[in-house]
Amino acid sequence: MGKPNDLVQGTLDLLILKTVSLGAMHGWAIAKRIQQISAEVLQVQQGSLYPALHRLEQQGWIAAQWAESETGRQAKFYSLTAAGHGQLEKETVQWNRLSAAIDLIVSEA
């Protein structure tokens, strides 16, 4: 079983922040959403998702709250904090710069 496309180191944080910025969401939904929006290209491994969520929470970019999920069971919902908004903007700008640069090199060649 080959590994699905490994996310570029560091981009998972950006994806999570962006996803969560749309509204509070639990872990499974976040993974699902990333997968859906990227048209099944990006597969988030649980092995990286939950450590990343917890790290972002520890750093104060996202906050967690327990609430009833769509199935009626209690689940942990993550949402973006004020500081997280700033971080998302910063990372987005960085990502744009980086992808534009890579794009330039690739199309040039």
Partner 1 sequence: MRWLVQLRMRIRMLFERGKAGAQLDDELRFHLERQIAENVAAGMSAEEARFAALRAFGNPALLREQARATWSWTWLELLLHDVRYGVRTLGRTPGFAIVAILVMALGIGANVALFTVVRGVLLKPLPFAEPDRLVALYEHSADDQYPYNVIAPGVFAEWRRQNRSFSDLALFGDAEFSLSGASGQLPEKVRGASCTWNLLSTLGVQPALGRDFTAADDRHSANATVLMSWGLWKRRFAGNPAILNQFIHLDGQSYTVIGILPAGFAYPDAATQLWTPVYHYEPAAYMEHIENHQFQAVGRLKPGVTAAQGVADLSVITRRLRDQHPENPFVSKAANMRPLLEDMVGDIERPLLVLLAATGCVLLIACLNVANLLVARAAARRKELAIRMAMGGGRLRLLRERLMESLLLSAAGGTMGLLLAYGAVRWLVSTRQGMSRVEAISIDGAVAAFTVALIALCALFAGLISSLSAKGNQLLLSLQDSARGTSTGRAHTALRRSLLAAEVGLTVVLLISAGLLLKSYQRLRSSDLGCITQNVLTMRIGLPGARYKTPGPAPVNFFETLLGRVRALPGVEAAGIVEAVPGQGYWQDEGFSVVEHPPLPQGTAQYAIFRWADPGYFAAMGIPLLRGQTFDPNRKLDRANQAIVTAAFAKQYFPNEDPLGKHLKDENEDREIVGIVGDTRYSLAENPQPIQYYPLYAGKENSGTLVIRSSRDVEALAMPVQRILQEIDRDLPVSDVLTMDQLLGKSTQDESFNATLLATFAALSLLLAAAGLFGVLSYIVEQRTGEIGIRIALGARREQVLRQMLLDGLRPALFGLVFGLAASVGAARLIRSMLYGTRPLDPAVFAAVAATLLLVAAVACLIPAWRASRLDPIQALRME
**Which parts of this chain interact with partner 1 (CB under 8 A)?**
26-28, 45-47, 50-51, 53-55, 57-60, 63, 66, 69, 71, 73-76, 81-83
- Nearest approach in angstroms of CB 103 to partner 1 is 32
- Nearest approach in angstroms of CB 17 to partner 1 is 14
DSSP, collapsed to helix, strand or coil, labels residue 50 as: helix
Buried/exposed 21-57: b ≥16 CB within 10 Å, e otherwise: beebbbbebbbebbeeeeeeebebeeeebeebbeebb
- Nearest approach in angstroms of CB 54 to partner 1 is 4
